[in-house]
C-alpha cells in the first residue's frame, strides 16, 4: 500500500511560511498584489480563480479580479494587460487559461511583463527554466518538486517518466526533474508502447487529462506516482489521470486527487507573487 503524498499537508506548511513573508513585507511598508484575469464562462476556470483568490486572502496577498465577458476582443485584453503591467499595486498578473478560441493565448502571455509573470509562461521565463537559472517556476511542476522534497524522495539518478508534453506541465516538469539529476523521458499521445516506457519509471508523472488513464499494469512495483489530472468521471466525481484504487497497491508513494497536486499549484502561485515583490 503506497504512502500518500498529501498536497494539503505540504501546502499548509508552505503557506504558513509565505504568510510570514507577506507580514514582513507589510511591516516594511510593502503590499503584495495579484491581478487575476478570467475571460468568459468556463466553469472549471471559475472554480480555479475562486480558489486562487481565497488562497491570496488567507496569506495576506491583495487580489484584484478582472472578469471579462466571453466576447472580449484580443485588443481589449491586451490593453488591460498593458494597464496592469504599469500598475504599481499589481506585482503579479495571472490570466486564467484556456481563453476563448478567438484569442491567441501565446500573444496574451507574450504581453505580460516577465517580472509580473507569476505563471512563468512568458518565453523569457521559459528560457530561464531551460538554462536552470530562474526567478519564477511554473506553479504545477514547482509544487510537485516541493512535495518530493518534503517526503525526502530523491530524484538524483532516478528514471523519471512524464506523460504529457504541455507547455504548462509536461515540458517544464521534465526540466525541473533534469535539474535535480533525474534521467528524464517525456511520453505523449504518439508514443509507441507507452506501457513499456511507464513500466521503466521510478518516478511517474501523469499529466494527460484523461480520467483513470494510468492503470496498475503500467506502474513498476515501488514507483512514485504523481497525478496532475483533474477530471470528472462518468458519475461526475473528481478524479485524476491515475486509477488510484489499483495503482496505490503497486506504488510506494502516490498523490491523491483531490488533495494532491492541486493545492500545491495554488501555493506556488502565492510563492511566485511574493517573490515578485521580494
Ligand atoms: N489553466 C490551467 N492551469 C493553469 C495555470 O496554472 N495558470 C493559468 N493561468 N491558467 C491555467
Whole-prediction pTM: 0.96
| Residue-averaged pLDDT of the chain | 97
The predicted model gives 201-209 an average pLDDT of 98
* 119 carries an active-site annotation: yes
Between 127 and 134, the higher pLDDT residue: 127
pLDDT at 134: 84
- List of domains in the chain: 29-113 (3.40.50.10860), 139-262 (3.40.50.720)
The 8 Å CB, 24+ separation contacts for 167-171 are 167/121, 167/126, 168/97, 168/119, 168/121, 168/138, 168/140, 169/138, 169/140, 169/141, 169/207, 169/228, 170/207
Q: Strand locations in the chain, DSSP E?
A: 3-4, 33-39, 62-68, 92-95, 159-163, 183-187, 203-206, 224-227, 231-232, 238-239, 253-254
pLDDT for 135 beyond 90: no
Nine cell digits for residue 148: 518530493
| pLDDT tens column, 13-25 | 999 999 999 999 9
The three-point CA angle 20-124-35 to 5° equals 45
pLDDT (tens digit per residue) in 1-60: 999 999 999 999 999 999 999 999 999 999 999 999 999 999 989 999 999 999 999 999
Q: Which pLDDT band, with edges at 50, 70 and 90, does 234 fall under?
A: confident
Torsion of CA 85, 86, 91, 95, to 10 degrees: -30
* 78-109 pLDDT, tens digit each: 999 999 999 999 999 999 999 999 999 999 99
Predicted local confidence at residue 236, as pLDDT: 86
Average pLDDT over residues 158-180: 98
Mean pLDDT on 237-252: 96
Is 116 a catalytic site residue? Answer: no
Residue nearest (by alpha carbon) to ligand 1 atom 9? 96
The candidate with the shortest Cα–Cα distance to 34, out of 265, 272, 261, 264, is: 272
How many C-beta neighbours within 10 Å does residue 234 have?
A: 7
133: confidence class by pLDDT, cuts 50, 70, 90? confident
Average pLDDT of the residues in 260-268:
97
Find the DSSP H helices in 39-182. 43-59, 74-86, 105-110, 123-131, 139-150, 170-179
Atom 11, ligand 1: residue with shortest CA distance: 97
CA of 195 to the centre of ligand 1 (A): 28
Percent share of the chain, pLDDT over 70? 100
95 Cβ inside 6 Å of ligand 1? yes
Give me the pLDDT at residue 223, please: 98
Best substitution site from 37, 44, 94, 96 to test ligand 1's pocket, by max atoms within 8 Å of Cβ? 96
Three-class SS of 32-62 = CEEEEEEECCCHHHHHHHHHHHHHHHHHCCE
Residue whose CB lies within 8 A of the most ligand 1 atoms, among 126, 168, 261, for a mutation test: 168
At 255, give phi and psi (nearest 5°): -95, 135
The Cα–Cα gap between 23 and 76 comes to 35
Are 17 and 270 a contacting pair, CB within 8 Å?
A: no
Residue 193: Cβ within 10 Å count: 9
Q: How many residues in total does the chain contain? A: 278
Cell of 271: 510563492
Which listed residue (14, 116, 117, 119) is catalytic?
119
Concerning whether 30 is annotated as a catalytic residue, the answer is: no
Report the pLDDT value the prediction gives residue 72, as an integer from 0 to 100: 98
Q: Of residues 96, 116, 117, 171, which has the active-site annotation?
A: 96
Q: Is 35 in the pocket of ligand 1 (CB under 6 A)?
A: no
The reported pLDDT for the residue numbered 114 is 98
pLDDT at 202 over 90: yes
Amino acid at each position: 500500500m503506497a504512502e500518500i503524498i498529501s498536497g494539503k499537508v505540504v501546502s499548509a506548511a508552505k503557506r504558513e511560511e509565505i504568510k510570514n513573508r507577506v507580514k514582513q513585507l507589510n511591516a516594511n511598508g510593502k503590499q503584495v498584489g495579484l491581478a487575476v484575469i478570467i475571460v468568459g464562462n468556463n466553469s472549471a476556470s471559475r472554480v480555479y480563480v475562486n480558489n486562487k483568490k481565497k488562497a491570496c486572502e488567507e496569506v495576506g496577498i491583495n487580489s484584484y479580479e478582472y472578469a471579462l465577458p466571453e466576447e472580449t476582443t484580443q485588443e481589449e485584453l491586451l490593453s488591460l494587460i498593458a494597464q496592469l503591467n504599469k500598475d504599481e499595486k499589481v506585482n503579479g498578473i495571472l490570466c486564467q487559461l484556456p481563453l476563448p478560441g478567438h484569442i491567441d493565448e501565446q500573444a496574451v502571455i507574450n504581453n505580460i511583463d516577465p517580472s509580473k509573470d507569476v505563471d512563468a509562461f512568458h518565453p523569457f521565463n521559459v528560457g530561464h527554466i531551460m538554462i536552470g537559472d530562474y526567478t519564477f517556476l511554473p506553479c504545477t511542476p514547482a509544487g510537485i518538486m516541493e512535495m518530493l522534497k518534503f517526503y525526502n524522495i530523491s530524484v538524483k539518478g532516478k528514471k523519471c517518466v512524464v506523460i504529457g508534453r504541455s507547455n504548462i506541465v509536461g515540458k517544464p516538469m521534465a526540466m525541473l526533474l533534469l535539474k535535480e539529476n533525474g534521467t528524464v523521458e517525456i511520453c505523449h499521445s504518439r508514443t509507441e508502447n507507452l506501457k513499456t516506457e511507464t513500466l521503466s519509471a521510478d518516478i511517474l508523472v501523469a499529466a494527460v487529462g484523461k480520467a483513470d488513464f494510468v492503470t496498475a499494469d503500467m506502474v513498476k512495483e515501488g514507483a512514485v506516482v504523481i497525478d496532475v489530472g483533474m477530471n470528472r468521471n462518468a458519475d461526475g466525481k473528481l478524479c485524476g489521470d491515475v486509477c488510484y484504487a489499483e495503482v496505490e497497491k503497486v506504488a510506494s508513494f502516490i498523490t491523491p486527487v483531490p488533495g494532491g497536486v492541486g493545492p500545491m499549484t495554488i501555493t506556488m502561485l502565492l510563492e511566485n507573487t511574493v517573490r515578485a515583490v521580494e
